[in-house]
Structure 1
């Protein structure tokens, strides 16, 4: 499922995000959603979230 729509993302859900530092390489980081940071209903590059594990922030690419 795509991470471009806010309605698809729930707190505690497992997702893969791309961190700001990894945008060029496209490397994904897996974790659980702690907070949803994007207020818009959708975003073309993915909804920005914070992960529970280590408070990393990135845009959702895949919902697992």
Structure 2
């Protein structure tokens, strides 16, 4: 289970994402999934999600 398959990501799941501004450094931000923004079944850089605090990024870890 990793962050590249949409089927692995559910609302309410705790995840680690990389925000757009942190892509160079790879800094991971942790939170709970509110919305899944990627429509395709998978994405090589991670499924894009919105966390409950409003931050948007691609899933790198599932906690």
TM-score (norm. length: structure 1): 0.96
List gaps (5 residues or longer) in structure 1: none
Q: What's the offset of the Cα at 1:13?
A: 0.2
Q: Which runs of 5+ in 2 are unaligned?
A: none
Output the aligned Cα RMSD.
0.5
> What is the aligned partner in structure 1 of residue 24 from structure 2?
24
Given the two structures, how large is their TM-score scaled by the length of structure 2? 0.98
Q: Which runs of 4+ in 1 moved over 6 A?
A: none
Distance in 2 (CA, whole Å) between partners of 1:35 and 1:2 is 17
Alignment size in residue pairs: 63
